Structure 1
Amino acid sequence: MKIRTIAPRNVLIAILSLSAVFAWGQGKINVVFDRTTHDFGTIEEDEGVQTIVFSFVNLSDAPIFIKDVQSSCGCTSPQYSRNNISPNTIGKIKVGYNPVGRPGEIRKSITVKFGNNKETRTVVLYLKGNTLHREDNDTDKFSYTDGNVALRTALIDMGTVLKGNTARKTIEIYNPTDKRIKVDFASIPNNIDIRIDGESSIEPHSSAYVLIDFKTSDKDRAGVYSYKIPIKVNRKNAFAIEIKATVNDDFTHITTQEFARKPQIWLIPPYLNMGTLKKGKKYSFKIKIENRGSSPLTIENIVAPEAPFVSFGRLKKNIINASESVEIEIVVNTQLLDTGTYETYCKVFGNDCESPVTDLYLEFAVE
C-alpha cells in the first residue's frame, strides 16, 4: 500500500505551502493562475520535452509585466513575453520539461516575478509527476504482464486536467508471445477514449501504441478520478489498467468584482494528530470547514487519494455561506492497516480561487 508520508518536522512547512492559484500582496499586483502546480502524471524518458502552459489573469487596477522567470533546474525552460498585461487580461507562461536522463519523481519549481512601476510580486509554480526509466531490452521494459500482453505500468496517471479540457497519454503495449494477438478494451466510461493507434492486432514480439483521451466538461466536479479498464486479448480478459486524473477548476475567467467577493476556505484544524489507534477498529474524527470570505463557498469533493483506509461522512451541506461553517467526519479503518506510524493527507476541492485544493494532513499510529 502506497502512503504519502511527511516527516513530522516538515508538517508545518507543508501546511504553510499548500497549493494555491492566487498570489496577492498588500500592494497593487493581484494575479490569479489557472493552477500553480502542474502534475504530468506518468511519463517516459523517450517522450522527450513535455510542454505545458500556465495561464493567469491580471486583477490589478493597472498594467503589469513579467520581470523575470527562473527555474530550479536546467531541465526546465520557461518562455514568456515582457509586454505589459492590461487589467482583466490573460497572460501565459510556457514551460518545457526535459525528462531525458531524469527517471523517477519529478519535483521542480519556477519562480515568477511580476512588476509595475511601483511594486514587485513573486509567485512560485511547481511541476510534479513520475518518469519511467528507459530500459535497454523489452523484457525489462515491459515488466507488467500476464504472459499474453505486457505494459510498462498498469497505472496510467493523466495528471492535472482543467475543467473543459482533454488530456492525452500515449502508452506502449507489447506482445511477448510467438503469435499475433488482437487487443481490445472493455467497460470504457463515457469520458475516456482508449484505442490502439492503427490496427488492433500486434505481431509477435512487437509493440503498438495505445492512445488515451481523458475528457472533462465545465460541469464536472473537481476531484481525483480513477477508472479500471480491462484489457482483452483475443476476446479474453487479460488484466485491467487503472486510469487516474485530477480535475481542477480554471479560475482565470474570474472578474475583479468576483475576486473582491471571493469565498475563503479554512480547515480547523489543518493538521490532525489522531494519536494511537487499536488495530481492527474504525475511528471517527471531526474537523470544521469554515468560510471566511464574502461569497458562498461550494465544497465540490473531499478525497484521500493515497489512503483507501480513510473515508468521509456526508456533509450536511456543501454550500457554506459567509461566516458559516460545517463539520466533516473523517473515518479511519484500521482493519486495513498493519501496526506502525502513518502520515497521509486528504484533499478538499472548493471554489475558493485562493485555495481550490486544500490539503488536510493526518497523523496516527496503529498498535
Structure 2
Amino acid sequence: MSAKRIILLIIAAFAAFSASAQARLVFEPDTWDFGTIRESDGRVSHTFTGVNRGDKPLVILDVVTSCGCTVPEFSRQPVTPGGKTQITVTYDPMNRPGTFTKELWVYSNERKKVASITVQGNVTPREKSLEELYPVDAGGGLRLSTTLSAFSYIYQGRQVQGSIGYANASDRTVRLSLRPQDESGLLQVDAPQRIAPGQRGEINLSYLIPAGTPRYGTLRDALEVAVDGRSNGTTIVAHGIGVDARPADATQKSPRAEFSENILKFGPVKHTGPRRKLSFTLSNTGDAPLIVRAVEGEGHIATTLAPGRTVAPGDSFRAEVLLDPATQDFGVLTEHLMVVTNDPVRPMRRLRITAIIEE
C-alpha cells in the first residue's frame, strides 16, 4: 500500500472518529404549534426536551432567536451522553396579530449549532383602545390617527388621495377647523366642521396637478388643527413630489438619468477658508432628451445644475456643487440635493453632500 493511500485512510478514520465523538442534541418533537391564541391573553410558553445522542457531554452555550418576541430559558448544566435537558420558549403575541413561525438555534460550548427548535401559531387580534387607534391628541377631545399624509410621487394630471382618521372622544359636539400654515395651492381638503360625541371618520386630502400647468418638485401643505377655535399645536402635514406623468406606451422612447456620484464629501474645511467646489456628472443613457425639472437643496450649498437643463441621449452634463464655509456653522454639515427629471423610471434622485467646518 502506498504512503499516500495510508495517509488518506488515516485522515478518513480521524474524520469519522471526530464525527462520532461530536455531541448531538435531538429534540423530539422539535416543533410546537400553539394553535390559535388570543393576543389579549398574553404570553404563551412551551418546554422542549432534548436528548444528547452524542458520545460526549455538552453544555448549551446559547439559544438564539431573531425576534425579541420569543424568549428562551435553558440550563447551562452539562448534559451527559444519553442525558436530557429542557428549553422553555415563551412567545409574546402583543401587537403581533396573524400567523407566526419562529425558529431558535441552539449552540453548544464548542460554539457550534447543535440543534434548532421552532414555535408557531396564529394570533387572534385584540380590540384596540381608542387611544391606540387614534394616538394623536388634537385637543378638546378630538383624536387623530396620524398627522402625516405622504404621497410620494404626484404625477401631472393624476389625482392622488389620502386620509387621516379622527374620533371625538368627548361627550359633546366639537367644531373642527383647519388653518393653512404652508400652502402649495394644490391641496384639496374634505373635513367635517362639526363632529358629534363618539363620532369617527376621516379627513380626506387630495392633490391634483393640472396637466396644462405642471408643477415639479416638493409640494407641501401644513394645516393647524383647531378645536372649538383653540389649537394645542397639532399640525397636519401633506407632501409629495411633483413629476411628469408616466408614458402610457411602455415602448415609447424615454430618457434615463445616471449620476456619477451619490455622495459628495468636502471633508474638513476651514471656516475662514476660500469657497470650495466639487463636481458630479449627470448622464442620459436613454433614447430621448433628459430634462431637469427641479433642483432643491436645504440652503447650505449651491449648484450649477438648474431646472430646464436638457441632456441629449448619450450625452452628459458636468455640474458643480459650491460651498462657502464662511456662511456655515461649525461642525458636521450634511446637505441633501434633490434632482427631479423626466426620467419615467426614477424621476427623483437625492445626492448627499457632507463637510466638516473647522475653525
TM-score scaled to structure 2, two decimals?
Answer: 0.50
Structure 2 CA distance for aligned equivalents of residues 221 and 299 of structure 1: 13
CA distance in structure 2 between the aligned counterparts of 1:337 and 1:135, rounded to whole angstroms: 50
Measured against aligned partners, the alpha-carbon deviations of 1:10-65 in whole angstroms (never above 9, x if no partner) come to: xxxxxxxxxxxxxxxxxxxxxxxxxxxxxxxxxxxxxxxxxxxxxxxxxxxxxxxx
Cα distance 1:200–1:246, how it changes in 2: closer, same or farther (>3 A)? same
Q: CA deviation at 1:275?
A: 1.9
Aligned partner of 1:267 in structure 2 is: 259
- Cα distance in 2, alignment partners of residues 360 and 220 from structure 1: 24
* Cα separation, 1, equivalents of 2:353 and 2:318: 19
Contact 1:279 1:366 in 2 (8 A): yes
The answer for the alignment partner of 1:159 in structure 2 is 152
- Paired AA for residue 227 in structure 1: D
1:27-38 matches, cutoff 5 A: none
User: How far off is 1:255 after superposition?
Assistant: 7.8
Q: Which runs of 5+ in 2 are unaligned?
A: 1-94, 99-125
The alignment partner of 2:189 has SS state of: strand
Greater shift, 205-214 or 138-147, is seen at: 138-147
From the superposition, tell whether residues 216 and 328 of structure 1 become closer, same or farther in structure 2 (CA, over 3 Å): farther
Larger relative contact order, structure 1 or 2 (CA cutoff 8 Å, min sep 6): 1
Which of residues 225, 230, 235 in structure 1 aligns to 2:224? 230
Q: Does 1:359 align with 2:354?
A: no
Match of 2:282 among 286, 290, 298: 290
Q: Across the two proteins, how many residue pairs are aligned to each other?
A: 230
- Residue from 335, 338, 341 that aligns with 1:347: 338
Q: Distance in 1 between matches of 2:97 and 2:277?
A: 41
Could you give the per-residue CA deviations for residues 170-216 of structure 1, whole angstroms, max 9, x where no partner exists? 211233444321112233654211122xx521123543321111212
* Residues 307-346 of structure 1: CA deviation (Å, up to 9, x unaligned): x56554464663234335252435599999896696x753
2: distance between equivalents of 1:310 and 1:232?
Answer: 35
Segments of structure 1 that go 5 or more residues without pairing to the other structure are 1-99, 104-133
Aligned pairs for 1:1-367 within 5 A: 136-148=128-140, 149-187=142-180, 189-196=184-191, 199-218=192-211, 219-239=213-233, 240-253=235-248, 259=253, 262-276=254-268, 285-292=277-284, 295-303=288-296, 308=298, 310=300, 312-313=302-303, 315=305, 318-322=308-312, 323=315, 325=317, 327-329=319-321, 345-353=336-344, 355-364=346-355
Q: Residue 107 of structure 1 corresponds to which residue in structure 2?
A: none
Q: 1:140 to 1:251 in 2, by over 3 A?
A: closer
Q: Is the 8 A contact 2:325 2:357 kept in 1?
A: no
Per the alignment, do residues 264 and 242 of structure 1 end up closer, same or farther by CA in structure 2, a change over 3 Å counting?
same
Give 3-state SS (helix, strand or coil) of 1:186's partner: strand
Moved runs in structure 1, 4+ residues, more than 6 A? 278-283, 332-338
Deviation track 1:220-258 (CA, whole Å, cap 9, x = no partner) reads 2332321112223224445421101133323324585x6
- In the superposition, relative to structure 1, how do residues 356 and 146 fare at CA in structure 2: closer, same or farther (>3 Å)? closer
How far has the Cα of 1:274 moved from its partner?
2.8
Q: Conserved in 2, the CA contact under 8 Å of 1:156 and 1:244?
A: yes
Deviation string 1:249-305 (CA, Å, 9 cap, x unpaired) is 23324585x62xx5443434332123246799998644344344565432111235x
Counterpart residue identity of residue 357, structure 1:
M
- In the alignment, the residues of structure 2 paired with residue 254 and residue 284 of structure 1 have an alpha-carbon distance, to the nearest angstrom, of 44
CA contact (8 A) 1:147 1:176 kept: no
Q: Is the 8 A contact 1:273 1:363 kept in 2?
A: yes
Question: Match of 1:269, SS?
Answer: coil
User: Aligned partners of 1:283, 1:179: CA distance in 2, in Å?
Assistant: 61
The structure-2 alpha-carbon separation of the partners of 1:140 and 1:282, relative to structure 1 and needing over 3 Å to count, comes to farther
Question: What is the CA–CA distance in structure 2 between the aligned matches of 1:190 and 1:275, rounded to whole Å?
Answer: 40
* Partner Cα distance (1:224, 1:246) in 2: 5
CA RMSD, 1 decimal: 4.3
